Structure 1
Amino acid sequence: MLTKEKVHQLVDHMPDTFTVDDIVGEIILLQKLELAMEQIANGEGEDWENVKKEMDSW
């Protein structure tokens, strides 16, 4: 889950001028990364070797 502190840090690392689209995109990316990290911590991620095997079948 996102926190105010994480969003503040994100804004602090943005350039002095940016568009609403820029910040929304960054917040969405941050949220997706946070969710992925939670899923990995909970053992919900996919094993890399399985992913590579599946990609080879494409």
Structure 2
Amino acid sequence: MLSKEKVINVINKLPDEFSVEEIIDELLLLEKIDRGLAQSSAGDVIADEDLDKELPEWLR
């Protein structure tokens, strides 16, 4: 989950004028990164060997 502080930091890094799509894209990216880091910290990851086996099926 995003915090106000992280959202404010994203907004502060944007130019003075930006589109709604730009802020949404930035916030979605931030949320996905946070979720991935949390999953990694929790050990909810796939080993490289398993990924090599599953990737061809995912790409169908």
Output the TM-score relative to the length of structure 1: 0.81
Number of the residue aligned with 2:29: 29
Q: Say which SS state the counterpart of residue 16 (structure 2) adopts.
A: coil
Percent identity for Structure 1 against Structure 2: 34
- Can you give the 5+ residue segments of structure 1 that lack an aligned partner in the other structure? none
In structure 2, C-alpha distance between the alignment counterparts of 1:56 and 1:32, rounded to whole Å: 23
Label 1:48 to 1:16 Cα distance change in 2 as closer, same or farther (>3 A).
farther
Output the TM-score relative to the length of structure 2: 0.78
Number of the residue aligned with 1:42: 42
Q: Which amino acid aligns with 1:26?
A: E
Alignment root-mean-square deviation, CA: 1.7
In structure 1, C-alpha distance between the alignment counterparts of 2:15 and 2:45, rounded to whole Å: 33
Q: Say which SS state the counterpart of residue 16 (structure 1) adopts.
A: coil
- Can you give the 5+ residue segments of structure 2 that lack an aligned partner in the other structure? none
Task: Give 1:37 deviation, angstroms.
Answer: 0.4
